Structure 1
Amino acid sequence: MNAPDLTTPSHPPAPTLPITVREGLDFGLDGDIARHWFGGDAFKTRFFDAMSVLFPEGERFFIACVRDYKDQLHSPEQAQTMLDFAKQEAQHTKVHNAFNKRLAAQGIKVDKILANQRRHLFEHVRKHLSKRHTLALTAAAEHLTALMSHAFMQNRHHFDDADPRVRAMYVWHAVEEVEHKGVAFDVMQQVAHVGYLHRVWALVLVSLQFPLLVFQILNHMLKVDGYTRAQRWGIWLKGLWWLYKPGGLMGPLLWPYLAWYRPGFHPWDEQAPAEFQTWLGAMQRSGNPVTASNALQPHT
C-alpha cells in the first residue's frame, strides 16, 4: 500500500472559484476573423493557434487520466468535482475543434498533427506508463495551463490587439482552467498518492516537451503562411523577444511555475485574482463571453 505524500497538507486550501460548466457559448468564431488575428502579428497569432491545435487531444488525455481513479474516490463531492472537470474539458475540446477547422481551411495540417498527438498520448504514453505516471503528467500540465491563465489575465494589456472573439475564447478557457486547477492535483495526492519526486519529474518532462511541440507547430504554420526561411528567422527573433523579454508574456510565469517544486505546494495556494471575478460578474450580467472578455480590456 502506498503511503500518503506527507509533503502535501492534509487539508489543502479551498478554491475561490466553483467549477461551473458553461455550455453553448457563442464566441462568433464563424465570423470574418483575420488570418493573423493578433494585431496582424504572425508569431503572436500562430503561438496561440498552435496551442489551440493541441488542446482537443490533450483535454481528452487529461480526462482519461483523471477518470482512471473514478472508482477509488473518497466521497460523492470528489466524484462530482471530477465530473465537472471532465465536462469543462469536454467543452474546451468542442470549442477548439471548431476553431481548428478555420486553421485547417488555411492549409494547416490539423488532422495530421492531431493523429500524431493521439497516437503518442494514447498508444504510447497511456500504454507504456503507469496510471500514476500519466496522472502526474496531467497534474503537471494543468499547473502550466493554470499559471498561464493567471498571468495572462493579470497582464491583459498584452492582448489589446487581439481579435475580441478569439481573445474571448482564450479568456473563457483561462477562467475554467483556474476553476478546476486543483482537481487533477488532488486526485494525484489524495487518491493515487504520488510522491514529491514523482510530481517533480512530471513537471520537468512536461516543461520540456510542451513548448517544443508548440514551436514545431508554429514553425509549420509560418511555412504554410508563405514566409521564406529568412523571413521566419526575423519573425522568430521578434516573437521570442516578445515572449521572454523582461516584462514580456512569459516573465510573470516564473515564480508561480517554481512554486510546484516546493514541498507542500498546492495549486490553490495562489487564489484567483480580481480579474477572474470581473469576468464572472460581466458574464453573469451579459451571458456573452465576448462582452465578459472585453470587460477586462481597459482600451476596449
Structure 2
Amino acid sequence: MNQHHPIVPREKLDFGLEGDIPKYWFGGHPFKTRYFDAMSTIFPEGERFFISCVRDFRDQVTDPVLREEIKHFIRQEGQHGIVHSQYNERLKAQGIDVDRLEGIQRGLIEWMRKYLPKKHTLASTAAAEHMTSIMAHSFFARKDVMANVDPRMRAMYAWHAMEEIEHKAVAFDVMQKIAKVWYPRRVVAMVEVTLGFTINSLLTTRHMLKVDGFSRLQRAKLWAQGLWWLYKPGGLFTSMFSQYIHYYKPGFHPWQQGQMDSYQLWLNTFNQTGDAILAGEVLHAAAA
C-alpha cells in the first residue's frame, strides 16, 4: 500500500475569481467550460453532504490518527465549498440560476439523509471521494487536458484536486473500519453515485447552454463535440476507467493507487511561495 500524504487544510486562498476571467475560460469552448461550471454548482452542497456523512460516525472513532484526519478532511471540504460558492457568484451574474440548481440538489440530499441508512450515505460519500480523486489524476496528469484553461481557473481546480488526493481515503476508512459497511452496499453506492453525477452534470450543462442562448442546432453541435471529448477512447472520463473500476474489487483501498509524481512539485511551490496560481502553473507544466 502506498504511503499517503498529510492532509493539510489551506484557507483564504486567492484565485483571482473576481477578475476578468473569460466567460468561456476553457479554451473558449462553451461545452467544456459549462461542464466544469456544472461541477462547480454541485460542489458546495456536495461537500456539506460529505462532511455530514463522515460526522455521523466521528464519535465512534477511537484511533487518534483517523480522528485527526477526519478533522482536516472536514476543514478541507469546507474550504472547497466556500471557494466554489465564490466562483458560482460569477455564474449567477451570467444568468445561471445557481440557487435553483443548488435547491434541487439540496432537496435530493435532504431526502437521502432522511430516508437512507447512515451507512449508505457514508458509502455514497466514499464512492464520490474515489471519483473526485481519480478525476484529479486525470485532469492534471496529462498536459493536454488543461492546456488551454485560464490560469486562475486551472489553479482553483489544481488546488481542489491536490487536496482531494490528500484526503481520498478518509471517508473510505471510516466506512470500512468504523461503519463496517458490507461489500454489496459499497458497490451499489458507487453505481448510484456514478449515475447521479453523470446525469446531474450533463443536465446542468444542458441548462447552462440554453441560458447562454445557443440555438438548438448550435447546442447539438456542442453536445456532439463535448460527448466525444468526455467519452471517446482516451477521453476525459474513459481514460480513467481502469482507476475507476478498481473500486469494485473486494479488497480495494484508495492508497493502493499511487500519487501523481507532480503532486510534490505543487506542494513545494505552494509551501515556498503561498501562491496557489503559481503552484497550479508548476503542476500543469510538469504534466506529461
CA contact (8 A) 1:153 1:276 kept: no
Asked if 1:143 corresponds to 2:130, the answer is yes
Of 37-46 and 147-156, the range deviating more from structure 2: 147-156
Partner Cα separation in structure 2 for residue 283 and residue 254 of structure 1:
30
What is the one-letter code of the residue matched to 2:250? P
CA displacement at 1:74 relative to structure 2: 2.1
Partner Cα separation in structure 2 for residue 21 and residue 214 of structure 1:
27
- Identify the residue that residue 206 of structure 1 maps to in structure 2: 193
CA contact (8 A) 1:27 1:165 kept: yes
CA displacement at 1:58 relative to structure 2: 0.2
- Identify the residue that residue 294 of structure 1 maps to in structure 2: 281
**1:282/1:149 Cα in 2 relative to 1: closer, same or farther (>3 Å)?**
same
- Identify the residue that residue 221 of structure 2 maps to in structure 1: 234
Partner Cα separation in structure 2 for residue 133 and residue 297 of structure 1:
36
Name the Cα RMSD after superposition: 1.3
Q: How does 1:9-88 map to 2 (within 5 A)?
A: 13=1, 15-88=3-76
- Identify the residue that residue 162 of structure 1 maps to in structure 2: 149
**1:293/1:39 Cα in 2 relative to 1: closer, same or farther (>3 Å)?**
same
- Identify the residue that residue 114 of structure 1 maps to in structure 2: 102
* 1:230-258 residue CA offsets vs partner (Å, 9 max, x unmatched): 11000000011111122221222100000
Q: Once superposed, which parts of structure 1, at least 4 consecutive aligned residues long, lie more than 6 Å away?
A: none
* 1:85-140 residue CA offsets vs partner (Å, 9 max, x unmatched): 00000000000000000001100010011111111102x00000010010001100
CA displacement at 1:14 relative to structure 2: 5.5
CA displacement at 1:15 relative to structure 2: 4.0
- Identify the residue that residue 272 of structure 1 maps to in structure 2: 259
CA displacement at 1:299 relative to structure 2: 9.6
**Total equivalences in the alignment:** 287
CA displacement at 1:157 relative to structure 2: 2.1
CA contact (8 A) 2:47 2:78 kept: yes
What is the one-letter code of the residue matched to 1:295? V
Partner Cα separation in structure 2 for residue 27 and residue 298 of structure 1:
18
Partner Cα separation in structure 1 for residue 52 and residue 3 of structure 2:
23
CA contact (8 A) 1:222 1:232 kept: yes
Q: How does 1:123-202 map to 2 (within 5 A)?
A: 124-202=111-189
- Identify the residue that residue 222 of structure 1 maps to in structure 2: 209
Query: Helix, strand or coil for the counterpart of 1:159?
Result: coil
CA contact (8 A) 1:157 1:297 kept: no
- Identify the residue that residue 7 of structure 1 maps to in structure 2: none
* 1:154-205 residue CA offsets vs partner (Å, 9 max, x unmatched): 1132111000001100010000001000000000000000011110011011
What is the one-letter code of the residue matched to 1:228? S
Q: Percent identity?
A: 51
What is the one-letter code of the residue matched to 2:68? Q
What is the one-letter code of the residue matched to 1:119? G
TM-score by length of 2: 0.97
CA contact (8 A) 1:160 1:299 kept: no
Which residues of structure 2 form unaligned runs of 5+? none
Partner Cα separation in structure 2 for residue 235 and residue 217 of structure 1:
14
CA contact (8 A) 1:107 1:224 kept: yes
CA contact (8 A) 1:19 1:180 kept: yes
Partner Cα separation in structure 2 for residue 238 and residue 232 of structure 1:
10
Query: Helix, strand or coil for the counterpart of 2:248?
Result: coil
